[in-house]
C-alpha cells in the first residue's frame, strides 16, 4: 500500500504542485516566436532554485538509460515524448510546443505538462489537437474517485480523442507518482472500462493525455527523444491528481 500517501506527504505534494503550476504558467509566457528553446530551460532551473525544489528529470537515468540532459521535456511539432530543449532551436509562429516536467519538493514529486501553439496560428488542426488534449485531460479527471477502475479513465480518454479524428499514443502512459516519478499504477490512454486496478483514496496519479494528429506510431531519434513516425503533430496535457474520499483534487493547479 506504498502508493497510498499519508497526510504529510499529501501536503508536500500540494505545495510542490502549486509551485509547478506557477512555474509552468511562467514558462508558457516565454513561448513566443524567436525564443531559443534553451532559454526556457535556463529560466526553469532558476525558478527551481528560487523555490527550493529539484528538477527531477535532469540526470534521470532509469534502467541503464543515459542521463536525461535537462530539467524540461520540450517537444516541437512532430517531436513526441522525452525530447529536450536545445540551444539554437528557435521557436516560430505556428509551432506546436509541449512542455512537460517533474519537480521534487521535500522528497515528493509532482508532474505536469501542457501544449500550445506559438504566436500566430492559422491551422485549425493544431488548435483541435491542443484543445482536445486539454479537454481529454479534464474530462477524464472528472471520473477520478475511490473505487473507480483505471479503465474508465483510459477508455474515456480514447473515446474523446478518437471522436475528433485524432489518436492516442499507446506506447506511453500516465502513472502513479510520489517519492519516485513513476509509480504504480499505470494509466494508459486507451483500453476497455474493465481494464486495470481500481483507484484508492490517498493515491496520487498522473493522468497524461498523449495525443497525435496522425498514426500513433512513435520512433526513437535517440535513446530518449522520440518523434511521430508519420510526421504528424503531437500534444500532451498532464496533471498530478490526488484521489480523495469524495473524488479528486488537482495538485498541479494554481490557486485562483
List Cβ neighbours of 132 (8 Å cut-off, separation of 6 or more). Answer: 160, 161, 164, 166, 209, 211, 235
Largest distance between two CA atoms of the chain? 49
Q: Which of 21, 24, 54, 73 binds ligand MF3 (CB under 6 A)?
A: 73
Q: Which residues bind Co ion (CB under 5 A)?
A: 111, 206
Q: Give the residue with the Cβ less far from Co ion, 128 or 205.
A: 205
Locate 213 and state its grid cell: 494528429
Q: Is 241 in the site for ligand MF3 (CB under 6 A)?
A: no
Helix H segments across the chain? 7-29, 37-51, 124-141, 150-162
**CB nearer ligand MF3, residue 138 or residue 146:** 138
- Min. distance of Cβ 206 from ligand MF3 in angstroms? 6
Helices marked H in 75-226: 124-141, 150-162
Total number of residues that touch ligand MF3 (CB under 6 A): 11
Task: Note whether 227 binds ligand MF3 by CB under 6 A.
Answer: no
Cα separations in angstroms, 205 against 95, 185, 250: 29, 8, 10
**Is 57 near ligand MF3 (CB under 6 A)?**
yes
CA distance 10 to 53: 16
Q: From the list ligand MF3, Co ion, none, pick the one residue 68 interacts with, judged by a Cβ distance below 5 to 8 Å according to partner type.
A: ligand MF3
Instruction: Name which of ligand MF3, Co ion, none residue 57 binds, using a CB cut-off of 5 to 8 Å depending on partner kind.
Output: ligand MF3
Site string for ligand MF3, 181-210 (x = CB under 6 A): ------------------------------
Distance (Å) of CA 244 to CA 135, 183, 196, 241, 251: 22, 18, 19, 9, 11
Q: Which residue is nearest to ligand MF3 (CB)?
A: 57
Binding partner of 95, given ligand MF3, Co ion, none, CB within 5-8 angstroms per partner class:
none
- x/- string (CB under 6 A) for ligand MF3, residues 104-143? -------x-x------------------------------
Dist. CA 112–CA 24, nearest whole Å: 8
Name which of 60 and 234 has its Cβ closer to ligand MF3: 60
Question: Closest separation between CB of residue 176 and Co ion, Å?
Answer: 10
Contact between 82 and 182 under an 8 Å Cβ cutoff? The reply is: no
d(CA 21, CA 3): 23
Where along the sequence are the contacts to ligand MF3 (CB under 6 A)?
Answer: 57, 60, 68, 73, 82, 100, 102, 111, 113, 175, 238
Amino acid at each position: 500500500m506504498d502508493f497510498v500517501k499519508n497526510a504529510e506527504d499529501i501536503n508536500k505534494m500540494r505545495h510542490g504542485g502549486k509551485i509547478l503550476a506557477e512555474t509552468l504558467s511562467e514558462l508558457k509566457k516565454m513561448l513566443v516566436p524567436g525564443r531559443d528553446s534553451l532559454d526556457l530551460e535556463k529560466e526553469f532551473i532558476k525558478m527551481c532554485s528560487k523555490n527550493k525544489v529539484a528538477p527531477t528529470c535532469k540526470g534521470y537515468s532509469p534502467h541503464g538509460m543515459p542521463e536525461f540532459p535537462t530539467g524540461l521535456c520540450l517537444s516541437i511539432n512532430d517531436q513526441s515524448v522525452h525530447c529536450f530543449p536545445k540551444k539554437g532551436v528557435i521557436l516560430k509562429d505556428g509551432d506546436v510546443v509541449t512542455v512537460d516536467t517533474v519537480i521534487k519538493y521535500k522528497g515528493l514529486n509532482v508532474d505536469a505538462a501542457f501544449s500550445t501553439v506559438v504566436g500566430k496560428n492559422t491551422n485549425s488542426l493544431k488548435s483541435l489537437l491542443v484543445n482536445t488534449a486539454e479537454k481529454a485531460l479534464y474530462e477524464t479527471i472528472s471520473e477520478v474517485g475511490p473505487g473507480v477502475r483505471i479503465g474508465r479513465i483510459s477508455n474515456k480518454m480514447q473515446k474523446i480523442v478518437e471522436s475528433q479524428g485524432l489518436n492516442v499514443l499507446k506506447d506511453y502512459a500516465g502513472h502513479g507518482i510520489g517519492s519516485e516519478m513513476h509509480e504504480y499504477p499505470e494509466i494508459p490512454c486507451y483500453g476497455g472500462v474493465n481494464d486495470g486496478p481500481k483507484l484508492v483514496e490517498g493515491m496520487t496519479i498522473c493522468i497524461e493525455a498523449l495525443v497525435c494528429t496522425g498514426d500513433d506510431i512513435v520512433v526513437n531519434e535517440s535513446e530518449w527523444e522520440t518523434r511521430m513516425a508519420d510526421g504528424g503533430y503531437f500534444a500532451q496535457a498532464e496533471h498530478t491528481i490526488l484521489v480523495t474520499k469524495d473524488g479528486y483534487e488537482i495538485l498541479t493547479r494554481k490557486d485562483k
